[in-house]
Amino acid sequence: MNKRCYYEILGVERTATVTEIKGAFRKLAKEHHPDSNQGDVEAESRFKELNEAYDVLKDEQKRAAYDRFGHAAFENGHGGFGGGRGGAGFGDFASSFSDVFDDLFGEFMGGRKARRQNRGADLRYNLEVTLEECFRGRNAQLKVPTAVACEACGGTGAETGTKPEQCPTCSGIGKVRAQQGFFTIERTCPSCRGNGRIIRNPCKPCGGQGLVKKERTLAVDIPAGVEEGTRIRLAGEGQGGLNGGPAGDLYIFISVAPHPIFQRDGHDLHCHCPVSFIKAALGGEVEVPTLDGGRATVKIPEGTQTGRQFRLRGKGMPVLRGGGMNGDLYVELSVETPVKLSKKQKEILREFEKTCEPGCQPESEGFLSKLKDFWKNTASE
């Protein structure tokens, strides 16, 4: 299924600033939040789509990659990365560059180059964590399918007691040259297929490859405060190298699952909290949760309106490598209109409405005043 354009999802132009993107996300996330659309599967799917688009466009590097390559920047094969969830190979750019460098300068710097030990490919592992795990940190056990050096032959590919032989056709270079007129054509050696060596007696467990498939269990510490897209590198835990070369690295990419109550914005958290119109009118207190499992009390002054925010300092996410610092928690209130009123309740509200004096509903009165001026000016034209 083709993914929708991230800019289209948030309803912004490609030239939009980070502030405009943030504002668009806030508005749409509030509209499609699962708490406000309970049982609506489409709203939940839309909310996840909004989070995915915002995560990319709020980050300068991710946004630049998306503007250039589209969704392919974060999928299989692009930018040197490959594979899906659970681990897969990277394109070995370092080894490719080494090939070019050796071909251009190998003979100039020291005669014929020796057989090169190929560094193993890097691996990518996508790990999804919860917001609570981002808050506390986590020790994860990962099962990574990969290729490791064969223990029977030590990664050489030759049967025990034997060794690979230097290819007689290319003298261990891996390439042969042929003269065609004024030009010299260089191509991969057909005898050794570029390896520079020939295995007369291949190792049976690995079939002469020097590598065997194996699933390894690795432990990795996920520090408190990690964000969506955080990359953790485990040196030497990637795929084993050919010809006894060093292993590549394992890169763990963190993704954060949507939370039913909190939305994260950097180090800060946002929480939507509905209150009754009676409590909003008379004032009072409301109890809200915090991500550490505790509770906090928010004092609501008289006449509180929908959209008012209350800031709880230090109740947000830990700052990664921030020495114990935390962001803030923002609680946004929405005044809930009562439904399914009884006949008596309706009568009470009508009596209340009759007692309202000017200034009791300043926003409504101000809006009506603007309407009168608008209609007056329209009629005079």
CB 267 within 8 A of CB 291: no
d(CA 337, CA 278): 9
pLDDT per residue over 246-287, tens digit each?
Answer: 888 999 999 999 999 999 999 999 999 999 999 999 999 999
pLDDT per residue over 302-350, tens digit each?
Answer: 999 999 999 999 999 999 877 788 999 999 999 999 999 999 999 999 9
pLDDT per residue over 183-231, tens digit each?
Answer: 778 888 888 877 788 888 888 888 887 888 888 889 999 999 999 988 9
d(CA 53, CA 302): 38
Q: What is the enclosing helix (H) or strand (E) of 4?
A: none
pLDDT per residue over 130-174, tens digit each?
Answer: 999 999 998 999 888 888 888 888 778 888 888 888 888 888 888
% of the chain residues with pLDDT over 70: 87
d(CA 226, CA 207): 42
d(CA 247, CA 235): 9
- Show the DSSP H helices in 82-213 as ranges: 93-110, 131-136
Taking all residues of the chain, what is their mean pLDDT, rounded to a whole number? Answer: 82
pLDDT per residue over 58-102, tens digit each?
Answer: 888 888 888 877 877 776 444 433 333 333 333 333 333 334 344
Q: What's the distance, CA 113 to chain centroid?
A: 42
Question: What pLDDT shows up at residue 326?
Answer: 92
pTM over 0.85? The answer is: no
Distances (CA, A) of 127 to 89, 219, 257: 16, 13, 10
d(CA 264, CA 285): 24
Question: What pLDDT shows up at residue 88?
Answer: 36
371 pLDDT above the threshold of 80: yes
Q: 3-state DSSP call for residue 186?
A: strand
Torsion angle of the four alpha carbons 41, 47, 48, 54, in this order, in degrees rounded to the nearest 10? 170
Cα distance between the two ends of the chain: 54
Indicate the pLDDT class of residue 112, thresholds 50, 70 and 90.
very low
The alpha-carbon radius of gyration of the chain (Å, integer) is 32
Question: What pLDDT shows up at residue 73?
Answer: 74
Question: What pLDDT shows up at residue 344?
Answer: 95
Across 57-196, the runs of DSSP E, i.e. the strands, are 88-89, 123-129, 138-149, 165-166, 175-180, 183-188
Q: Between these two residues, 277 and 105, which has the higher pLDDT value?
A: 277
Among 37-46, 51-60, 221-230, the least confident range: 37-46
CB 122 within 8 A of CB 92: yes
Q: Do domains 93-124+134-164+199-256 and 259-339 have the same CATH topology?
A: yes
How does 91-105 read in b/e, with b if 16+ C-beta sit within 10 Å? ebeebeeebeebeee
CATH H-level superfamily of 259-339 = Urease metallochaperone UreE, N-terminal domain (2.60.260.20)
- Look up the CATH architecture of domain 1-74: Orthogonal Bundle (1.10)
DSSP 295: E
93-124+134-164+199-256 CATH, one of 2.60.260.20, 3.20.20.370, 2.60.40.10, 3.40.50.300: 2.60.260.20
Question: What pLDDT shows up at residue 274?
Answer: 94
- To the nearest 10 degrees (0 to 180), the angle between helices 41-57 and 18-32 is 170
Domain ranges of the chain: 1-74, 93-124+134-164+199-256, 259-339, 345-380
Q: Which two tokens stand for residue 53?
A: 């688009």
